[in-house]
């Protein structure tokens, strides 16, 4: 089983092992808000959705819990966490420290290929937002932030952000007003401008402003609806497993 180093989620090829397949699918579903906070992750339902054994599901859930993506409680099983507003303060404090330093280090040092890759992500995020494809916009937004961390060359930054992104998505699902995107693509475009101009201070300031904007948008008080697991993971039904 891969660790939290980011090598698995960064890989181009899909996970080969059934346990990895379940892990990646649940992780992605939390990130793009297909699994809202508080959702119960029942082993039997997941085993049916992925056409794998409950042993495989149990292994994936234990790794997800170890990585802080879900919670495992005695006699209650697995559940998507329900972070509090206080948890949110801690998450955004950590993201400001990590991501402001990331862009400060990257300013003026990105290759043409790296800048093109980041622009392509922002372009795709804008298209998804315009077409009201919320889940795709959220996925691309998270990937943009994660790619910046990877480009910094510091695997600890990557690992920290991989731990912080799921909780950020859960906070958005719980507290962000309906209809608003998780991240605003034009903020990402302004960030790119600072990075390209070799403006370390400007890029760090823009990242801080961007993260503050997201944090301050957390105002909703009503909980989102909880979907059936078979609907969330229906595309995996019928796949091979162990």
* Domains of the chain in sequence order: 14-82 (1.10.10.10), 85-216 (1.20.120.530)
Who contacts 231 (Cβ-Cβ below 8 Å, separation ≥6)? Answer: none
The structure's pTM equals 0.77
CB-based contact 33:27 (threshold 8 Å): no
CA–CA dist 195, 197 (Å, integer): 6
Length of the chain: 242
Q: How far is CA 119 from CA 112, 190, 211, in A?
A: 10, 11, 19
Say what the pLDDT of residue 224 is.
Answer: 59
Say what the pLDDT of residue 167 is.
Answer: 92
Say what the pLDDT of residue 198 is.
Answer: 80
CA–CA dist 46, 52 (Å, integer): 8
Say what the pLDDT of residue 181 is.
Answer: 52
CB-based contact 6:162 (threshold 8 Å): yes
Q: Quick one: residue 33, left, alpha or beta (phi over 0 = left, psi -120 to 50 = alpha)?
A: left
From first to last of the 242 residues of the chain, give the pLDDT tens digit: 333 434 344 444 444 589 999 999 999 999 888 888 999 999 999 999 999 999 999 999 999 999 889 999 887 889 999 999 999 999 999 999 999 999 999 999 999 999 999 999 999 999 998 888 888 888 899 999 999 999 999 999 999 999 999 999 899 888 887 655 555 678 899 899 889 888 778 899 999 999 999 898 887 655 556 667 777 787 665 444 44
Say what the pLDDT of residue 178 is.
Answer: 66
Residue identified by tokens 């608003």 is 180
Backbone angles phi, psi at 79, to 5 degrees: -150, 145
Give the Cβ contact number of residue 108 at 10 Å: 13
Backbone angles phi, psi at 81, to 5 degrees: -65, 160
């Amino acid at each position: 089983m891969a660790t939290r180093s980011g090598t698995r989620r960064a890989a181009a090829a899909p996970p080969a092992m059934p346990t990895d397949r379940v892990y990646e699918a649940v992780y992605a579903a939390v990130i793009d808000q297909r699994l809202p906070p508080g959702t119960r992750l029942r082993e039997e339902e997941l085993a049916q959705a992925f056409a794998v054994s409950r042993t495989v599901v149990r292994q994936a859930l234990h790794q997800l819990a170890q990585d802080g993506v879900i919670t495992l409680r005695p006699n209650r099983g697995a559940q998507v966490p329900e972070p509090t507003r206080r948890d949110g303060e801690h998450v955004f404090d950590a993201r400001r420290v990590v991501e402001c330093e990331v862009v400060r280090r990257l300013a003026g040092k990105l290759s043409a290929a790296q800048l093109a890759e980041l622009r392509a992500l922002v372009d795709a995020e804008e298209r998804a937002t315009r077409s009201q494809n919320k889940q795709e916009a959220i996925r691309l937004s998270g990937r943009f932030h994660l790619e910046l961390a990877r480009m910094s060359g510091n695997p600890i930054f990557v690992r920290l952000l991989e731990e912080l992104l799921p909780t950020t998505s859960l906070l958005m699902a719980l507290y962000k007003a309906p209809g608003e995107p998780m991240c605003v693509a034009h903020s990402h475009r302004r960030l790119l401008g600072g990075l390209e101009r070799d403006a370390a201070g400007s890029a760090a300031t823009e990242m801080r402003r961007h993260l503050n904007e997201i944090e301050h948008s957390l105002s909703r008080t009503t909980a989102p609806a909880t979907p059936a697991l078979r609907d969330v993971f229906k595309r995996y039904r019928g796949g091979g497993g162990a």
